[in-house]
Each structure stands twice: as C-alpha cells, then as structure tokens.
C-alpha cells in the first residue's frame, strides 16, 4: 500500500529551524527521511540543533541572517553548492516586537517586517529555480509559510508590526500560490495558535493559564505542528493551493 504521507528522499529547507516551530517540523522531517537543511541567525544554536537531529537522519546547518537581501543571497548560494534541486521550503523564520501604540518604534516595525515578510518573499523567489527543477504536475514542489492566528483575528497584545506582517503573509501566500502553481509549486500557509516556544514566552511559562482560553484546553504540541507540515508537504496535500491552515485548538473559530 502506498503511504500518501511518505516524504523519504525529499530535500527541505526550514528557516528558523534551530528552535520552536521550525525545530518541531525539522525533527519530524529528519525522522521521515527528508534531507533537511536548517538555517538561523545564531550559528551556535543552528549547528547544535542540526547535530542533535542528525542522530535521526540527515540534518545540516547553514546559519545566515535572512533579514537582509545579502543574507538571503548568501544562504541561497551556499545551499545551491550542496543541492541542485529542492522539494520543500518552510518559511518559518520570524520576529516579534511589542510596545504601546504611542511608543512603538520604527526599529520594531522594520525588524519584524524585514524578517517576517520581506525575506520570506525574496528567499522563495531566489529558491524558485531549484524548486522548479524538482516540480511536476504529478509531484508539485511545496512552499509553506508560517503565519499566525494574530494575522487573522485581533490580539489583545500591542504587537502591531507582528500582526500586520502575519496578515501580509497570509495574503502574500495566496498571491504567490496563484503565480507559482503555473510552475507546479504549491504555496500554502499554516497559522499556529499557542505553542510553547521562545517566540511565545508567555505560553511557554504559563501553559495552564493560556490553556483556559483555548477550546481544546491545551497548548499545541510538536506533533500538532509537525503533522500539519507533513500533510501539506506530502502527496496528501497536493491539491492544496493558497490556503491557510489554522492549527490553534479552536481559538480562531471561537473568537
């Protein structure tokens, strides 16, 4: 019987792969036989994660700062020296910034927009030739953008650039999907809710308190995120084009 969730033999890039949601996805991919490249700004953390995950399969660290076009270009060049084709791109690298409306700084706006939105677009653009090499009508390439439920519904937190950037990711996903499906590349997004991570420190440190506001009565766990990514990346997700899958325990539908 054919396993429609089989990912073995594929090549993947996961940005922000050293921790949090990126690591959750990376570990599952490695365990499933995906040759997985992770990148992150902090070289030590990126290399340490790759070494840990390499116990389960093929995982390689290519640390770069993707918040600038120079950094994006440097990463793509290094990756292209190792691989001539790419099956899956997970655009997960992200940043957040919180400040009161009257005090919100330009630096907090630009930092978040550069990594959450601008680098996502240009990394996909620059890796598109390698995705096209592997993509076909029968086996489309996959791009998965990690958005957030804060790009769908209003949050109580004053994270203006973060919410705006994630709403932008969701619409940009639809626009890129419309163009890249012509090249047999499926672009979709995942909008996570509360997962314990360094990005969501409050959920990590106060899981019981946060869980009270989630219909499922718990935080998301690594299998929840990894399962969504496997679904979208595998044969099972070949007819998904331009969608945003909320993985939030029911928060969005209850808002």
Asked if 151 contacts 113 with a C-beta cutoff of 8 angstroms, the reply is: no
Choice among 37, 160, 162, 239 that is catalytic: 162
Asked if 169 contacts 151 with a C-beta cutoff of 8 angstroms, the reply is: yes
Q: Give strand pairing partners of 90.
A: 14, 144
Pairing of strands 141-146, 185-192: parallel
Task: Tell me the C-alpha distance between 178 and 77, whole Å.
Answer: 27
Place of tokens 């209003």: 154
162 is catalytic: yes
Phi, psi of 210 (to 5 degrees): -65, -40
Task: Tell me the C-alpha distance between 255 and 252, whole Å.
Answer: 5
Residues recognised as catalytic: 162
């Amino acid at each position: 019987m054919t396993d429609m969730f089989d990912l073995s033999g594929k090549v993947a890039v996961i940005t922000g792969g050293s921790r949090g949601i990126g690591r959750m996805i990376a570990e599952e991919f490695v365990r499933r036989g995906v040759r997985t490249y992770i990148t992150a700004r902090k070289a030590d953390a990126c290399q340490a994660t790759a070494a840990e995950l390499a116990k389960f399969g093929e995982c390689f660290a290519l640390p770069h700062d993707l918040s600038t076009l120079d950094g994006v270009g440097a990463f793509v060049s290094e990756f292209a020296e190792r691989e001539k084709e790419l099956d899956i791109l997970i655009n997960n690298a992200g940043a957040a910034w919180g400040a009161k409306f009257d005090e919100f700084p330009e630096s907090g706006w630009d930092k978040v927009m550069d990594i959450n939105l601008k680098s996502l677009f240009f990394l996909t653009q620059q890796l598109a030739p390698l995705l096209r090499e592997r993509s076909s009508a029968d086996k489309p390439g996959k791009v998965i953008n990690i958005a957030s439920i804060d790009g769908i519904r209003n949050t109580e937190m004053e994270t203006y650039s973060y919410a705006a950037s994630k709403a932008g990711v969701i619409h940009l996903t639809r626009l890129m999907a419309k163009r890249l499906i012509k090249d047999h590349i499926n672009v979709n997004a995942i909008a996570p809710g509360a997962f314990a991570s360094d990005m969501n420190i409050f959920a990590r440190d106060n899981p019981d308190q946060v869980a009270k506001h989630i219909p499922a009565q718990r935080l998301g766990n690594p299998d929840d995120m990894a399962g969504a990514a496997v679904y979208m990346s595998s044969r099972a997700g070949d007819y998904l084009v331009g969608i945003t899958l909320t993985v939030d325990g029911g928060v969005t539908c209850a808002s």
